Amino acid sequence: MKKYLSSPRRAIMTVAVLATAMTLSACSTTTDEPTGGGDEAISVAFVSPQKAGDSGPIDDMIAALDRLEADYDVTTKYVELSDPSTYEATLRNLAQAGTDYIVTAFGGMRQPIQTIAPEFTDTNFVLIFGDKFEPELPNARSVAYDVYQAMYVSGITAANATTSGKIGWIGGAPEPALNANYHAFAEGAMSVNPDISVIGAFVGSFDDAAKGRDVAASMIAEGVDVIQTDAAAASLGVVNAAETAGILVIADSSGEVAAQYPSTIIGTTFLKFGDSLYQQISEALDSSFESGFTTSGLADGIVGLNLSDAFLNGDSPKAETIKGIVGQLDQVIEDVSSGAVTVNFDPSGI
């Protein structure tokens, strides 16, 4: 079990509540009927630009496909890509095959959708964790997440957990959203201790755990004793390095991973990729597909910070310290959600 940090007025979100909360902030077109005709099952494909087996975003979205198949009369397909040069061809092949909904993720897939979607107006495209399409597309929508708000809360946690006064943040690869996550993490930490040292670095990959371990080892050698990961599957290497060195991690991996490292992982910053994918498609199947752009943050419960029960109830000397700030973290989440506290979005390089 994981401890969900939330304001007293918010319960843990169900899919139904998420569907209400994540309304489109900009909408260009509505398709009144789901695509797919006759008695043929509607088809949904998830195209991943990252490897499965990350115990995080990709695995979460694959699981959402299984949920859709179980809850709706749809067929699903998972396609994993490793070469960006194949992105457009893969989307085109799926659309030519008559796929009704093509879901993909992350910024590298934005331009391929921008190119392919106008050619296949009977296929609807959903980009998870993406920017707005410009120009807008009548058969595509993108979903963005204010993960940086959760990173601000994580920074406060890390600042309370450090003994050395040096904390670190390790991301997958430079991009505006991850840059903003680092800056928000540092902002949160410095709200606790203005003199704290916050070191940021990129692995250069979202799936190379060995490189993640090397980057973490270098950071640990500089005296860092708490690290926030933001590198998907590469984060597992960071966790391994931290466990070996006896330091602490706030991970971007799943709660299951946190339970495996009860003395190392304080908790996890989360983005419920699977719930979001499920919500996007189930809403279209239940009513209609809406193109446009939507964002979600702490207030929606799609992003946030979970403290690990395994850590809180374990033998780490910092467990009591973290227990002691639970109320403070709840208040921070409440203040950010209400707008009483504004977390800066700074996409500049680190």
Q: Which CATH architecture has domain 14-145+273-297?
A: 3-Layer(aba) Sandwich (3.40)
Structure token pair of residue 113: 């959708």
Residue 115 has pLDDT above 80, yes or no: yes
pTM value is: 0.75
Q: Which residue carries 């695509």 as its tokens?
A: 35
Cis bond before residue 135 (omega within 30° of 0): yes
Give 278-303 pLDDT, tens digit per residue.
Answer: 999 999 999 999 999 999 889 988 89
For the chain, how many residues are written? 350
Q: Do the domains spanning 14-145+273-297 and 147-271+301-338 agree at the CATH topology level?
A: yes
Class for the domain spanning 147-271+301-338? alpha beta
| Domain edges within the chain | 14-145+273-297, 147-271+301-338
The burial of 190, by beta-carbon neighbours within 10 Å (0-12 exposed, 13-18 middle, 19 or more buried), is given as middle
Cβ–Cβ under 8 Å, residues 259 and 239: no
Give 137-185 pLDDT, tens digit per residue.
Answer: 999 999 999 999 999 999 999 999 999 999 999 999 999 999 999 999 9
- pLDDT band at residue 39, thresholds of 50, 70 and 90? low
Q: Give SS3 for 162.
A: coil
- pLDDT band at residue 12, thresholds of 50, 70 and 90? very low
Query: What confidence score (pLDDT) does residue 32 get?
Result: 41
> In the chain, what percentage of residues exceed pLDDT 70?
89
DSSP result, 222-258: TT--EEEEE-GGGHHHHHHHHHHHT-EEEESS-HHHH
